[in-house]
Amino acid sequence: MKAEYLQRFGGIARLYGQSALGSFSQARVCVVGIGGVGSWAAEALARAGINQITLIDMDDICITNTNRQIHAMQGTVGRLKTEVMAERIRAINPDCEVIEVDDFVTPDNLAEHIKREFDYVVDAIDSVKAKVALIAFCKRNKIPVIVAGGAGGQMDPTQITVADLAKTIQDPLAAKVRSDLRRLHNFSKNPARKFGVECVFSTEQLSYPDGNGGTCQTKAASDGNMKMDCASGFGAVTPVTATFGLVAASRVLKKIAERGAKVERLEAAAKADEISRVAGDQADA
């Protein structure tokens, strides 16, 4: 690791340990969806010293993203989200290799965009079809993935938590994704079994727009639009969407650090075995 990298991210080493920082410096993480959740996840990963970050999205920034997306500012409206986010990351860590993929993930292009060498994938997209295909692809190819549930219609970030995707509650997006994974990709239908995929979600009761300038607590009384887009649907606020992204990033960092420590232990054990074997051979001689 370069001296400047060590200086820039010394605080990370003092928290996770020097060996974990070494793992972060070599890690390759992909963030799919650079919006209200993904932009914050990418920022957090960059500030933790992840040295290769792939950003996948084809959307541009619009003024209505201001309430929830870190890159949405007056001077960035109309520019690609990947482009602006990449500039932020390079300003945070000039040594970070940022790969911009200006495309939407679809079931047909996953093999092209989701590389098997990724150490982790952050799923921060809200299209059910794409989300389901991405999760199934990652599981099939043994690529670690963490899923963001729906971040709209919530005000209280203290109710955000993490569980296996098979065990989430109070999250219509996660429930639909779970159902489709079981129906289309043979994920276990046994409610007692886990999927082996973590999901960030909230236990908060959703707040729906009622179509008349107010909000309501039931879908039946709402205007029927459950999307979180630029003009309608769920409302959203940065304290919640950012927390979704930051929690996802924190889980990625924890898992990468744990994996690096496990590799170090195995290497140390192998080295000790080799030393013991050589010593034994010398004694026999």
Give 105-145 pLDDT, tens digit per residue: 999 999 999 999 999 999 999 999 999 999 999 999 999 99
pLDDT on residue 262:
77
What is the arithmetic mean of pLDDT over 64-81?
98
Q: Are 260 and 27 in contact (CB under 8 A)?
A: no
276, pLDDT greater than 80: no
Residues 96, 105: Cα–Cα separation, whole Å: 23
pLDDT digits (tens, 9 = 90+) for 157-195: 999 999 999 999 999 999 999 999 999 999 999 999 999
DSSP state, 244? H
Percent of the chain, pLDDT > 90? 81
Alpha carbon 239 to its chain's center = 17
Between the alpha carbon of residue 210 and those of residues 94, 216, 285, the distances in Å are 46, 6, 85
At residue 82's C-alpha, the angle toward residues 154 and 12, to 5°, is 75
pLDDT on residue 267:
65
Question: For residue 260, what are the contacts with CB-CB under 8 A and spacing of at least 6?
Answer: 19, 20, 22, 23
What is the arithmetic mean of pLDDT over 4-10?
97
pLDDT on residue 221:
56
Q: Which domains does the chain possess?
A: 3-204+236-284 (3.40.50.720)
pLDDT class for 268, splitting at 50, 70, 90? Answer: low
pLDDT digits (tens, 9 = 90+) for 204-228: 999 998 888 888 887 765 555 455 5
Alpha carbon 231 to its chain's center = 25
Residues 196, 179: Cα–Cα separation, whole Å: 15
The whole-chain average pLDDT of the chain stands at 93
pLDDT on residue 14:
97
| C-alpha torsion 13→19→21→24, nearest 10 | -160
